């Protein structure tokens, strides 16, 4: 039998019937843990001799402590996609308060169901938020299994709201747009971000991370170079209003269109708070609406589709790899659908006048 120190943890390796076996103990490589580590190694050998499955000893970790380690890992794991890490971190704010000092290995389906009910009753979250929360927890339990904190992922046996129920989209109408931006002028960054999203359909992170070096006003183009996929790294052909906004923002010493990109997590949070204040002010003024910043992108996509832009071109403008992704973005308004049916009806009438037999209903 032989124990090895790898990364500060005890690992073991032994040979049985000419075949080599190895494993991790999950224990810190200290003198006090030698006996326990040898016991785990001996248990593995005994399980092989008896023809049964071996199980590592569960390491007892309280959820809050385990969550801190998981979030540190997630920050590195999602370093190329910081918005994904932020979403997980937001979900864990409520999860850490709920599960607290509960051992990870003791969290089962019933406790997860209790958490779902808590989020719905106490926090009034929508299905889309609940979906994010449960996916974040599922990722956590996958990590916890690898660390030896538990053997099961309880999320696998819990119902998660499907995409069709979780997607919450609001297409901003002209009256809401006017009321919003009238009030958003008091928050220049928020105002310009919203106008650029509505004009270009870009994601908020793509605009907030835009460098002045990637804007060419002579060509009327901006270059998204740090997108999360090949399709999202693209050229934006700027509208007249976008060029005017960017021309103003090109002034000053900062190399960024929206300064302080290193702290964009804080920047996004500050703009979201300003957005909430604008919505609250409009509500008090008798112009109630409820949408999030991302709905400017949804509205852009819907308006482009209603203007007759083909879906392949729209997918490319939005930075999507496939047309399927557009299903959650493009939501024609009732007025647009009525107009489409009216045009179709006129086409049928015209065809019927040319061929009366086609217009007869049996």
The predicted model gives 70-90 an average pLDDT of 86
Q: What is the pLDDT of residues 249-265, one digit of tens each?
A: 999 899 999 986 454 54
Confidence of residue 326 (pLDDT cuts 50, 70, 90): low
What is the model's pTM? 0.56
Confidence of residue 269 (pLDDT cuts 50, 70, 90): low
Share of the chain above pLDDT 70, in %: 87
Residue 236 pLDDT > 70: yes
Residue 179 pLDDT > 80: yes
Residue 184: its pLDDT value, please? 95
Residue 361: its pLDDT value, please? 43
Confidence of residue 359 (pLDDT cuts 50, 70, 90): very low
The predicted model gives 154-160 an average pLDDT of 90
**Range of 25-39, 68-82, 187-201, 250-264 with top mean pLDDT:** 187-201
Residue 116 pLDDT > 90: yes
Residue 360 pLDDT > 50: no
Domains and CATH numbers, the chain: 2-49 (no CATH), 63-166 (1.10.150), 174-328 (1.10.443.10)
SS (H, E, C) the chain: CEEEEECCEEEEEEEECCEEEEEEEEEECCHHHHHHHHHHHHHHHHHHHCCCCCCCCCCCCEHHHHHHHHHHHHHHHCCCCHHHHHHHHHHHHHHHHHHCCCEHHHCCHHHHHHHHHHHHHHHCCCHHHHHHHHHHHHHHHHHHHHHCCCCCCHHHHCCCCCHHHHCCCCCCCHHHHHHHHHHHCCCHHHHHHHHHHHHHCCCHHHHHCCEHHHEECCCCEEECCCCCCCCCCCEEECCHHHHHHHHHHCCCCCCECCCCHHHHHHHHHHHHHHHHHHHHHHHHCCCCCCCCCCHHHHHHHHHHHHCCCCHHHHHHHHCCCCHHHHHHCCCCCHHHHHHHHHHHHHHHHHHHHHCHHHHCCC
Confidence of residue 342 (pLDDT cuts 50, 70, 90): confident
């Amino acid at each position: 039998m032989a124990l090895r120190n790898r990364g500060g943890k005890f690992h073991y390796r032994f040979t049985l019937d000419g075949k080599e076996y190895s494993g991790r103990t999950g224990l810190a490589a200290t003198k006090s843990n030698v006996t326990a580590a040898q016991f785990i190694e001996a248990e593995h050998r005994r399980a092989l001799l008896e023809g049964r499955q071996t199980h590592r000893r569960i390491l007892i970790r309280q959820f809050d402590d385990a969550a801190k380690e998981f979030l540190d890992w997630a920050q590195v794991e999602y370093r190329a996609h910081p918005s994904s890490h932020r979403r997980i971190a937001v979900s864990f704010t409520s999860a850490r308060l709920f599960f607290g000092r509960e051992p990870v290995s003791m969290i089962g389906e019933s406790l997860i169901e209790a958490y779902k009910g808590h989020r719905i009753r106490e926090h009034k979250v929508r299905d889309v938020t609940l979906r994010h929360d449960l996916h974040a927890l599922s990722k956590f339990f996958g990590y916890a299994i690898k660390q030896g904190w538990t053997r099961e992922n309880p999320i696998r046996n819990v119902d998660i709201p499907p995409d069709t129920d979780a997607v919450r989209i609001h297409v901003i109408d002209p009256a809401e747009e006017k009321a919003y931006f009238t009030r958003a002028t008091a928050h220049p960054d928020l105002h310009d971000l919203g106008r650029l999203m509505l004009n270009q359909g870009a994601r908020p992170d793509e605009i907030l991370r835009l460098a002045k070096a990637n804007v060419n006003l002579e060509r009327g183009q901006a270059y998204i170079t740090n997108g999360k996929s090949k399709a999202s790294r693209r050229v934006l052909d700027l509208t007249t209003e976008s060029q005017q906004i960017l021309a103003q923002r090109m002034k000053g010493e900062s190399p960024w269109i929206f300064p302080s990109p290193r702290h964009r997590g804080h920047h996004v949070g500050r703009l979201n708070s300003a957005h909430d204040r604008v919505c609250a002010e409009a509500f008090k003024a008798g112009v109630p609406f409820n949408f999030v910043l991302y709905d400017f992108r949804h509205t852009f996509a819907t308006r482009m589709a209603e203007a007759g832009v083909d879906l392949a071109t729209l997918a490319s403008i939005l930075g999507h790899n496939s047309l399927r992704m557009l299903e959650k973005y493009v939501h024609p308004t009732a007025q647009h659908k009525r107009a489409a049916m009216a045009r179709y009806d006129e086409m049928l009438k015209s065809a019927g006048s040319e061929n009366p037999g086609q217009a007869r209903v049996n």
